Structure 1
Amino acid sequence: MSDTRDAGYPKIELHVHLEGAVSPAALLAAARRNGFALPVATVEQLAEFMRFRDFDHFIEAWFATTPALQTEQDYRELVVDYARRAQAQGAVYLEAIFSPTDKLTEQGIDLETVFTGFTDGVQAAREEVGIEVRLTPDITRGVDLDVAIATAEHAVRYKDRGIVALGLGGLEAQFPPEPYAPAFAIARAGGLGSVPHAGEVAGPASIRGALDTLAPDRIRHGVRAVEDPGLLRELADRGMVLDVCVLSNVRLGVVEAVTAHQLPALLAAGVPCTVNTDDPTFFACDLASEHAAARSLGADPRALFDAGVAGALCDAATKERLRALAVVHDWSGAGA
């Protein structure tokens, strides 16, 4: 584990979409290697094009840029590059998301290429950056069940190379979680965790559906649980860790402003929360700014770290190293 004295306090990030974290420079390089036509020609233009304006533009920009990432080399470098940037802001452990079903159904890239490239990145991040990364591939809502099942089977096959859980992302309001239960059953039977997105765009019913059918270890987002007091109590009683992304929620209109965010209510109810970047390149945020937003809402950095340890799906030895790091760190000035 790396020293974080020059990066504030140590941080655990459990929710970052790697495709949404790609740097414009890396994306431009991949596009040139792969002969992919981007809508603009320079790093500066690409950064501006990818910057969030509204949800429709976000979707347009995502599909106009991220398909430039096509090879094992692209995916490996994506993991390493984000690991290096996150570590510079204090990250000591990451669980990162990638979207293999998009690449299969939209680009025709086989799952073997996608999983090999991203899991090679786990090893490279350990060797080149000195940080532990684990991966949680997302099933994108709307894909056929056979695609979801194939993704779950590949995730299990790559369990010993850094895959720790199966996720569910995409258009939450249009596609409830229940139809994907068979894929999650395969993942659970294969020793993987379950980390679906729920309760971000859609309300408490989305969280309830995930709890009842996908046996989640964490809920990604989950902030709209505050709309159902009974559900909020249940999450607290279960110790269900939520992956909270404050600035992402503001950008996407889940809340109107940081000051209106549900994080204080979640913490007051006893729900453990982590703080994460989601899609930092598109949302013009980073781990430091997300934590600054959370602290402005009264979040305690040590409690955020402890929630990260509780929610992390890594092996016991890695968890123990994270706990030991928290014990020796001086947290006295972390909330400043």
Structure 2
Amino acid sequence: MSVAALPKVELHLHHEGAAPPAFIRQLAHEKKIDLSRIFRADSTYEFRDFAHFLLVYDAACEVLQTPEDFRRLTLAILEESAANGVVYTETFVSPDFCGGGDLKAWQEYVHAIHEAGDEAERKFGITMRSVVTCIRHRGPDLARLSAHCAAETAGDRIVGFGMGGNEGMGKQGDFAWSFDCAREAGLRLTTHAGEFGGPDSVRDAVRDLGVERLGHGVRAIEDADLVHELADRGIVLEVCPGSNVVLGLYPDIAAHPIQRLREAGVKVTVSTDDPPFFHTTMAREYEMLNAAFGWEEPDFAEINKTALHAAFCDEDTRARVAQRLETS
């Protein structure tokens, strides 16, 4: 079996950021919204750098206006993930894009998303759970609304809380109230750190927010003491190699630190982040890691074991997914 065909667990996938360009173009056509500015001639997303990427991301979300839009989106992204061998995924969903932080509206979006998730599990054999995310560059006040929405819908499908967005805006600790609120509701915690923010952002996330996983976290490699701390504490990194290369953190996959982090005892996993933006899939990530570092089936089995153990789902779901990994 080729590594691309292996069953996979993905922990870091932005729900809206996984929207296929053709899906967004179709919705824009239906709603008579001109989004031509965000697409290249070949119909892929166009952006210059991370700041511009965030603007294009928000523009694409302009057409995602109703729970029905998110129901359709969920089916589209899960079909694509399943086609690339993903058997379990955690997607980041933000109340900012699903009702603007209004709890009643958020509940309607959640119902539509998870109804589609159940349908996708029946059709495609993929299990989805949701991590509610606040958006860092929109500030702590809106983050509190997201945390409240997360806390009020916590359960077997809403399993975690996290934060995405621009690491250059504010500090991790500014959002401590929101993370405490989510923790008290029984949600498990992750946050983006160590992508553009550097090693200090990783320390801040672990110290100030008490997270057990980190989105990206790869800049920790620049601080040997921090690498040892992550390994000792068992903090899991949601590593997105293809994304890191496209956004300019590293010149190519061979220069990416995922192998060095793994060799240092840090728990690493593999994800796609916003796959159509970064021209990747989970199958493609596996192929790149195989080519760059010689990872074979036993290596990916270890990566998936780490990811499944770090997943925020309940134990019954974990056992069911483990069986799929063994029998696929």
Deviates more, 1:280-289 or 1:154-163: 154-163
Which residue in 1 is equivalent to 2:131? 136
Deviates more, 1:223-232 or 1:154-163: 154-163
Secondary structure (helix, strand or coil) at the match of 1:36 reads coil
Root mean square deviation of aligned Cα? 2.6
Alpha-carbon separation, structure 1, partners of 2:177 and 2:116: 28
Which residue in 2 is equivalent to 1:163? 158
Report Cα offsets for 1:302-336 as digits up to 9, x if no partner. Answer: 1111111121111101111233334445xxxxxxx
Report Cα offsets for 1:119-171 as digits up to 9, x if no partner. Answer: 33333322333321011121101334332122112112222361111111111
For the 8 Å contact 1:152–1:184, the answer to whether it is kept is yes
Instruction: Evaluate the alpha carbon distance shift between residue 38 and residue 102 of structure 1 in structure 2; reply closer, same or farther with a 3 A threshold.
Output: same
Secondary structure (helix, strand or coil) at the match of 2:36 reads coil
Which residue in 2 is equivalent to 1:16? 13
For the 8 Å contact 2:95–2:146, the answer to whether it is kept is yes
Deviates more, 1:154-163 or 1:249-258: 154-163
The 5 Å alignment of 1:202-241 reads 202-241=197-236
Alpha-carbon separation, structure 1, partners of 2:3 and 2:78: 16
The 5 Å alignment of 1:143-158 reads 143-158=138-153
Alpha-carbon separation, structure 2, partners of 1:29 and 1:46: 15
Instruction: Evaluate the alpha carbon distance shift between residue 30 and residue 196 of structure 1 in structure 2; reply closer, same or farther with a 3 A threshold.
Output: same
TM-score, normalization: structure 1? 0.88
For the 8 Å contact 1:200–1:224, the answer to whether it is kept is yes
For the 8 Å contact 2:11–2:91, the answer to whether it is kept is yes
For the 8 Å contact 1:264–1:298, the answer to whether it is kept is no
Instruction: Evaluate the alpha carbon distance shift between residue 6 and residue 303 of structure 1 in structure 2; reply closer, same or farther with a 3 A threshold.
Output: closer
Instruction: Evaluate the alpha carbon distance shift between residue 6 and residue 276 of structure 1 in structure 2; reply closer, same or farther with a 3 A threshold.
Output: closer
Report Cα offsets for 1:264-308 as digits up to 9, x if no partner. Answer: 110111111111111111111111111122222244211111111
Alpha-carbon separation, structure 1, partners of 2:263 and 2:85: 26
- Any stretches of 5+ residues in structure 2 without a counterpart? none
Deviates more, 1:157-166 or 1:261-270: 157-166
Which residue in 2 is equivalent to 1:38? 35
Which residue in 2 is equivalent to 1:334? none
Alpha-carbon separation, structure 2, partners of 1:186 and 1:57: 32
Residue 297 (str. 1) matches residue 296 (str. 2): no
Which residue in 2 is equivalent to 1:61? 56
- The size of the alignment, in residue pairs, is 323
Secondary structure (helix, strand or coil) at the match of 1:242 reads strand
Report Cα offsets for 1:205-227 as digits up to 9, x if no partner. Answer: 11111101212121110001111
Task: Find 2:43's aligned residue among 42, 47, 52.
Answer: 47
TM-score, normalization: structure 2? 0.90
For the 8 Å contact 2:220–2:226, the answer to whether it is kept is yes
TM-superposed CA distance for 1:65, in Å, is 2.1
Alpha-carbon separation, structure 2, partners of 1:228 and 1:150: 35
TM-superposed CA distance for 1:56, in Å, is 4.5
Which residue in 2 is equivalent to 1:280? 275
Secondary structure (helix, strand or coil) at the match of 2:13 reads strand
For the 8 Å contact 1:226–1:266, the answer to whether it is kept is yes
For the 8 Å contact 1:250–1:256, the answer to whether it is kept is yes
Which residue in 2 is equivalent to 1:306? 305
For the 8 Å contact 1:80–1:129, the answer to whether it is kept is no
Q: Tell me which amino acid in the other structure corresponds to 1:92.
A: V
Instruction: Evaluate the alpha carbon distance shift between residue 195 and residue 35 of structure 1 in structure 2; reply closer, same or farther with a 3 A threshold.
Output: same
